[in-house]
Amino acid sequence: KILILDFGSQVTQLIARRVREQQVYCELHPFDVSDEFIRDFGASGIILSGGPNSVYEAADWRAPQAVFEIGVPVLGICYGMQTMAAQLGGKVEGSATREFGYATLEAAADSALFRGLADSHTADGQPQLEVWMSHGDKVVELPAGFRVTGSNASTPIAAMADEARQFYAVQFHPEVTHTLKGREMIANFVHDICGCGRDWTMPGYIDEAVARIREQVGSDEVILGLSGGVDSSVAAALIHRAIGDQLTCVFVDNGLLRLNEAEQVMQTFARNLGVRVIHVDATAQFMGHLQGVSDPEAKRKIIGREFVEVFQVEAQKLPAARWLAQGTIYPDVIESAGGKTKKAHTIKSHHNVGGLPETLKLKLLEPLRELFKDEVRELGVALGLAHEMVYRHPFPGPGLGVRILGEVKKEFADLLRRADAIFIDELRAADWYDKTSQAFAVFLPVKSVGVMGDGRTYEYVVALRAVETQDFMTARWAELPHSLLGKVSNRIINEVRGINRVVYDISGKPPATIEWE
């Protein structure tokens, strides 16, 4: 397995995904783990990620020295290269110009990291690679034992290697798709240099996970909060595969779900898969508590709190349950792991079916803890869940509660559900659904004047939002065809009485967020 040390880059998780794509298991940990942790981990190779700091400004942002002492291959990326250089006796300097974007490098064909790779060649036959750079500082003096393996005019030391010790470093980002042969570089590193086999596969994972769940819970009963989202759905399917009727799911309808969503969840789980599901319609309770509340954070807190309330009442009806299952996935684990790289600011208090209180006195069962989202999806399909459900866009825990601006009313939710369903329908029909990462309608509680037939209308506005993103940390608004937007707008205004105006949101994240609240 590969150990990745995170120095806080926005794209560190991509490194892990690239490694897993090679069917090699890896884990991501904060860079400031102990020497002992490094020695005990049993890595076949270590990757040092990029990060936002300068090595000469952040003297304590260093890899544990053991990384360079335990005799396994190391790959430093961007900041990882700089700290490697600094820690092994080279020199790093700031430069006046930041280099950001595509760059062409001349690469050493005999370096194991670049073996067999070229996007083009120079006149004298030297291989060239198209890479993605994003850095201010650079290595200006090699540490002893290293040679230059990649360079161009602006970054003379853009890659370096000490083949004897199997230390490799690149100033660019092989984990992003803009580096054309990045995937192959990661493959060279994990397979050829570290000697890892291809043993991280989905069928293998299912067998292992099923055995592990059976062993963990024995004959105990398990309870799971099913939201209809991908993570809890796949967790339910996996646990059901392992222990059948020892699993009971609680599905809480908070009145803020999408059109027909409750029906679909019951169909998939209760009827098709034969999972025991308790369906609680708590619409009235949620709406009651949301009445008169318009502050976004207050709304989020109420929805989170009421969910816990309802869930607890149901859990008490299952006194035999000893385990609480959750669809926690690896990015959640990484995010809450902390270390110096932990983000300090909460923009929105997130709520999902995780986060249930300890007062339930149940042990936690989190069978997806090691998986990335795309692996969870692959697992869901392998377990027989419909492709359409597993590849659905993410839906926030507070549901339509954060898509109805201001006070939530059932009437607003009903209008929004129908507008949203039309939007999604048309996106699918036009083959745009899978090209966007998230798309939905937002209800604006403002009225505007319109004309329909001979009459004046004075009705509500719906905004359409569609974004493209890799990680939901940053996002671009999707350039949907005008004809598609026109069709959606027409249908919503004609079919949803109460809405007479549709607008399209053209804000990126940052500075806007994806959801409106």
Does 231 count as an annotated binding residue? yes
- Of the candidates 78, 194, 196, 249, the residue annotated as catalytic is 78
State yes or no: residue 39 binds ligand XMP (CB under 6 A). Answer: no
- Of the candidates 175, 261, 306, 459, the residue annotated as catalytic is 175
DSSP secondary structure string, 393-433? PP--TTGGGGTB-SS--HHHHHHHHHHHHHHHHHHHHTT-T
Q: Do the strands 221-226 and 247-253 form a parallel or antiparallel pair, or are they unpaired?
A: parallel
Least distance between ligand XMP and beta carbon 258 (Å): 12
Does 507 count as an annotated binding residue? no
Least distance between ligand XMP and beta carbon 28 (Å): 20
Q: Does 26 qualify as catalytic in the annotation?
A: no
Locate the DSSP E strands across 163-283.
167-170, 221-226, 247-253, 276-281
The residue (of 345 and 482) whose beta carbon lies closer to ligand XMP is: 345
State yes or no: residue 436 binds ligand XMP (CB under 6 A). Answer: no
The residue (of 17 and 392) whose beta carbon lies closer to ligand XMP is: 392
Instruction: Pick the binder of ligand XMP from 355, 394, 498, 508 (CB under 6 A).
Output: 394
Does 228 count as an annotated binding residue? yes
Least distance between ligand XMP and beta carbon 506 (Å): 15
State yes or no: residue 513 binds ligand XMP (CB under 6 A). Answer: yes
Does 295 count as an annotated binding residue? no
Instruction: Pick the binder of ligand XMP from 165, 322, 340, 509 (CB under 6 A).
Output: 509
The residue (of 242 and 467) whose beta carbon lies closer to ligand XMP is: 467
CA torsion sign for 59, 61, 66, 71 is negative
The residue (of 301 and 487) whose beta carbon lies closer to ligand XMP is: 301
Does 227 count as an annotated binding residue? yes
Among 424, 453, 445, 454, residue whose Cα is nearest residue 499: 445
Least distance between ligand XMP and beta carbon 512 (Å): 8
Find the radius of gyration of the CA atoms of the chain.
26
User: What distance in Å separates the CA atoms of residue 248 and residue 325, rounded to the nearest whole number?
Assistant: 10
User: What distance in Å separates the CA atoms of residue 416 and residue 492, rounded to the nearest whole number?
Assistant: 10
The residue (of 51 and 397) whose beta carbon lies closer to ligand XMP is: 397
Containing 379, the helix (H) or strand (E) segment is helix 373-382
Among 227, 248, 253, 395, residue whose Cα is nearest residue 310: 253
The residue (of 394 and 498) whose beta carbon lies closer to ligand XMP is: 394
Please identify, among the stretches 34-42, 247-255, 349-357, 448-456, the one whose residues bind ligand XMP according to the rule CB under 6 A. 349-357
Enumerate residues 279-318 that contact ligand XMP by CB under 6 A.
none
Helices (H) and strands (E) counted in the chain, each on its own, are 14, 21
CB 54 within 8 A of CB 136: yes
Among 320, 306, 314, 302, residue whose Cα is nearest residue 218: 320
Enumerate residues 398-417 that contact ligand XMP by CB under 6 A.
398
Least distance between ligand XMP and beta carbon 513 (Å): 3
Instruction: Pick the binder of ligand XMP from 472, 476, 485, 491 (CB under 6 A).
Output: 472
Phi and psi, residue 163, nearest 5°? -65, -30
Least distance between ligand XMP and beta carbon 125 (Å): 48
Is 248 strand, coil or helix?
strand
- Of the candidates 173, 184, 261, 314, the residue annotated as catalytic is 173
DSSP secondary structure string, 423-461? HHHHHHHTT-TTTSSEEEEEEEEEEEEEEETTEEEEEEE
State yes or no: residue 445 binds ligand XMP (CB under 6 A). Answer: no
Does 111 count as an annotated binding residue? no
Q: Which residues of 439-477 are buried (b: 16+ CB within 10 A; e: fewer)?
A: bbbbbbeeeeeeeeeeeebebbbbbbbbbebeeeeebeb
Please identify, among the stretches 103-111, 280-288, 343-351, 483-491, the one whose residues bind ligand XMP according to the rule CB under 6 A. 343-351
The residue (of 242 and 514) whose beta carbon lies closer to ligand XMP is: 514
Q: Does 78 qualify as catalytic in the annotation?
A: yes
Q: Does 175 qualify as catalytic in the annotation?
A: yes
Q: What token pair was written down for 406?
A: 């201001």
Does 333 count as an annotated binding residue? no
Among 354, 317, 320, residue whose Cα is nearest residue 217: 320
Please identify, among the stretches 73-81, 345-353, 367-375, 404-412, the one whose residues bind ligand XMP according to the rule CB under 6 A. 345-353
User: What distance in Å separates the CA atoms of residue 450 and residue 244, rounded to the nearest whole number?
Assistant: 55
Instruction: Pick the binder of ligand XMP from 155, 254, 268, 352 (CB under 6 A).
Output: 352
State yes or no: residue 507 binds ligand XMP (CB under 6 A). Answer: no
By rule CB under 6 A, what count of residues binds ligand XMP?
Answer: 15
Instruction: Pick the binder of ligand XMP from 276, 340, 348, 409 (CB under 6 A).
Output: 348
Burial class (CB in 10 A: 0-12, 13-18, 19+), 82: buried
Catalytic residues: 78, 173, 175
Binding residues for ATP: 227-233
Task: Return residues touching ligand XMP (CB under 6 A).
Answer: 347-348, 350-352, 394, 396-398, 438, 472, 509, 513-515
Binding residues: 227-233
